[in-house]
Structure 1
Amino acid sequence: MVSTFRQKEIIELARKDGKVTVDGLAQLYDVTVQTIRRDLSELADLGRLERVHGGAVVPSGVVNLVYDERRRMNEEGKKAIARACAERISNGASVFMNIGTSTEAVAHELLDHENLLVVTNNLNIANTLAANHSCEIILTGGVLRRADGGLVGGLTADMVRQFKFDYSVLGCSAIDEDGDLLDFDGQEVLVSRTAIGRSRNVMVVADHTKLQRKAPLTICGLSDVNVWFTDGALPDKLAQDCADWGTDVVLV
């Protein structure tokens, strides 16, 4: 296979699964590990991937990925997470849902729920839940972030502060090894923190790729979370920390 075409496929695999490994790619393409290492190094030099021990991940740092790229990453994992989360939400509940592809996946799984009140700062979630005619949808005000249909800022937080939610369903951009939930946009962080303070139950939907990424701003700690839905085994220390904090970890 010509290197250019192989590298394009490697990028798509990384977007889908969150990470690619040298050994796995060498076996997949029937080439040497040295060839794959060279591919990954070239992609890293171009800023398309970020090298990690044994492979590469989709790059992160101080700027988030394009929303459509995030939506394609680990789609099956996000669907499984979303189903598990939706099963914990009772009919007739009040729910806040923030911006994100994982929370958007949860919205799809709530289409058969009855008599929900959903407050969201995500246009995509509002449009999805519009198909559920027994669901009352309240869209917050705020500054429109055109890149992902999010509404953010002080006006959004003020709107959220008026409610007391049975559940908040929150996504994040990254999870640090110490259990901090991280994001890129201070205005979005403000909204999520406000929702946490107005919720009886805080539910986080974050797949295994979030443990491989970085972001500069802290939303909260997993110690502030009631349930975390994810699709991969946790590092031993983080798993023990969650147990000590009383954070229920649901592996799908």
Structure 2
Amino acid sequence: MLKIAVSRQAHILEIVREEGFASIEHLATRFDVTQQTIRRVVNALCDQGLLRRIHGGVSLPVQNQNLAYGSRQGLNADAKRRIAHATAKFIPDGASLMIGLGTTPEYVAQALSRRHDLRVITNNLNVAAAFAHNPDVEITIAGGTLRPLDRDIVGEAAARFFAGFRADYGIFGVGGVDQDGTLLDFHLGEVQARQSIVANSRTAVLVADTTKFGRNASVRGGHLDECHHLFTDGPLPTAFAPISAKYTDRIHASSDTALAR
């Protein structure tokens, strides 16, 4: 039953992303269930901030700002764990890593936290804390003004910090991905930090679950062209079929078993 519920949520998200709006009546007919059943599903999606209730149905949320960090940590947790596990398998011991802000990079840090001989360069205190117990990991943290709710440093201070290093891998998340492959975030400072990671890493690794594809965010910065690898949790939404075809050699779904370095 849980798998059915999760699959139904994913299909509803895909319908709303493609059509912009879906009525409760339409969704109930489409899935051949009662309107009460559909309301339970969409209410759960709205509570997670993935959809917005409007009269008679649901639409995409108006996303002028991101959800609070604590709320995002538990959002799509299983998907993030799968992404983190696949990404950790891809990273060799002895590597230098830039790891950026966000909850999915934090999950990656947790998956790597017991590895040997890593050098971690980060602007994310949650990432630093994940590695802090491991004496085999060298941690370098950005200085600057802390965003206390997100526990990170962004903006010009973070961009200058990352520019002082050259890492084997840059691991970063994103607020959203537009249909043309443009990367989106909620604040200019987040974009500045992320783009500095990309510019100063030999291999740029985007980690993003499929709900980020089609998600609205207001600040443009970067493109999938700049990402050497994308780790995600499953097939991209139907509207992103051209992206899937164009970057098929760069996209690693969590179900992939063979990940060539």
Match in the other structure for 2:17? none
Quick one: distance in 2 between partners of 1:48 and 1:136?
37
Which residue pairs with 1:236 in the alignment? Answer: 241
Change (3 A) 1:127 1:201: same
User: 1:31–1:237: structure 2 CA closer, same or farther, 3 Å change rule?
Assistant: closer
1:194-232 CA-to-partner distances (Å, cap 9, x unmatched) read: 111111000010001101411011231111000000112
Give the aligned partner of residue 81 of structure 2.
79
Please give the root-mean-square deviation of Cα atoms over the aligned residues, in Å: 3.1
- SS of corresponding position for 1:146: coil
| Residues 103-252 of structure 1 aligned to structure 2 (within 5 Å) | 103-234=105-236, 235-243=240-248, 248-252=250-254
Contact kept, 8 Å, 1:98 with 1:192, in 2: the verdict is yes
Task: Give 1:70 deviation, angstroms.
Answer: 1.0
State the 1:39 CA deviation. Answer: 9.2
The DSSP-based 3-state class of the residue aligned with 2:146 is strand
Counterpart of 2:101 in 1: which secondary structure?
coil
TM-superposed CA distance for 1:51, in Å, is 5.7
> 1:66 offset after TM fit, Å?
1.1
Provide the rounded CA distance (Å) in 2 between the counterparts of 1:40 and 1:127.
35
Q: Deviations over 1:229-249 (max 9, x none)?
A: 011212321112224xxx510
Q: Separation in 2 of the partners of 1:169 and 1:60?
A: 27
Structure 1 moving runs of 4+ over 6 Å: none
Distance 2:195 2:233 in 1: 24
Relative to the length of structure 2, the TM-score reads: 0.77
Shift of 1:32: 2.3
Identity %: 37
Residue 40 of structure 1, CA deviation: 5.3
Give CA-to-partner distance per residue, 1:63-120, whole Å, 9 cap, x none: 1111111111110110010011111111111100011110000001112211111010
